[in-house]
Each structure stands twice: as structure tokens, then as C-alpha cells.
């Protein structure tokens, strides 16, 4: 039996010209990076610490990219109502990938987006955005102003931001 190598050679030559992408099958899944629980807790603790320096008792919620709670802390004297508000701020900041202080006044009208249950457009929520990827959100409630809430959230993010960026997230 005589083997005809011309078609085999032509096929191999064609594949080599197309490059490795043509040889690999398209992936059917994607890799998603997510904050570890310890990272979320470190963010929450640093947020509480900053607010204590400001002389206020708050609640902080850290959510993942799907809006699921990863860490919640309520300082000793923070009011109970701060818990659901901090969660809503964290979720809204994550969903819009924007600090909530930049969104105040953006939506007007009776049927605007913020009327959806669970969204809060009030300073004190920031996204966790590292290397262009949304990783979650931080929401803070309980300070006398949203600006202080947001300052505390920023301190929480700052506590881990450099490490996350160095990790290549």
C-alpha cells in the first residue's frame, strides 16, 4: 500500500499558517476572578477603622461581582437600619460600576432606574474595580453624611487595592 503524503503535508502547512488559535478549540467557559472572603473582611475592617477615626459608628457591606454579600460588619453602636442601607449601597455601586456620590441627581423622573427596589443612589457606596475589572462593591451607612461614608469606603478599598493590582486582578 502506497501512502500519499501530499494531502497530509498540505493540511499541516495550512494549519501552521493559521497559527495556534486555529488548532485550539474555542473555550466554552470563562475564568472569573473573585475576591476571597479574607480580602472582603480586610476591606470591611479597614472601613470600620476609618469611620472610628472620624468618630462615627457605621455598618459596612462588601459584595462580590454578582451582588452577593461577602462581608458585613456593624460597629457596636451603629443603628440597625444601617445594615440594609449599606448592602443596597454596595450592590448599587457594583451594578453601575460607579461611586454613588457621582450618581446623585443623575436620574430624574417618577419611573427612573433608582425606583427599582434594592437600589440606593446616595453617597457612601463605591465599586471595587481593579485593573479594569469589576470585583464587587463597598457600601457604608451610618455617618452623618454620605461623604464621610464614602471616605470610609475608600479607606477600606485602599487597604487592599495595591495588593490586588500587584496580583494582576
- pLDDT tens digits for range 8-34: 555 655 555 655 555 567 888 887 888
Q: What is the pLDDT of residue 133?
A: 87
CA distances from 133 to 16, 42, 43 (A): 34, 19, 17
**CB–CB of 100/120 below 8 Å?**
yes
Phi–psi pair at 120, nearest 5 degrees: -130, 120
Q: What is the pLDDT of residue 63?
A: 97
Q: What is the pLDDT of residue 1?
A: 56
For the stretch 40-50, pLDDT in tens is 999 999 999 99
Does residue 36 have a pLDDT over 60? yes
**Considering only CA atoms, which of 77, 86, 73 is closest in space to residue 42?**
73
**CB–CB of 138/156 below 8 Å?**
yes
Prediction pTM value: 0.80
Domains of the chain: 37-167 (3.30.450.150)
Amino acid at each position: 500500500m502506497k501512502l500519499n503524503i501530499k494531502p497530509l503535508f498540505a493540511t499541516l502547512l495550512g494549519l501552521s499558517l493559521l497559527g495556534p488559535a486555529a488548532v485550539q478549540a474555542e473555550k466554552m467557559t470563562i475564568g472569573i476572578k473573585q475576591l476571597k472572603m479574607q480580602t472582603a473582611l480586610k476591606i470591611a475592617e479597614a472601613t470600620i477603622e476609618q469611620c472610628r477615626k472620624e468618630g462615627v459608628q457605621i455598618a459596612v457591606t462588601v459584595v462580590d461581582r454578582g451582588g452577593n454579600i461577602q462581608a458585613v460588619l456593624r460597629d457596636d453602636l451603629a443603628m440597625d437600619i444601617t445594615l440594609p442601607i449599606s448592602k443596597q449601597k454596595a450592590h448599587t455601586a457594583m451594578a453601575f460600576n460607579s461611586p454613588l456620590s457621582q450618581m446623585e441627581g443623575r436620574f430624574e423622573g417618577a419611573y427612573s432606574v433608582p425606583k427599582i427596589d434594592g437600589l440606593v443612589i446616595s453617597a457612601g457606596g463605591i465599586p471595587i474595580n481593579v485593573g479594569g475589572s469589576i470585583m464587587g462593591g463597598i457600601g457604608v451607612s451610618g455617618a452623618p453624611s454620605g461623604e464621610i461614608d464614602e471616605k470610609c469606603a475608600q479607606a477600606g478599598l485602599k487597604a487592599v487595592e495595591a495588593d490586588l493590582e500587584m496580583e494582576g486582578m
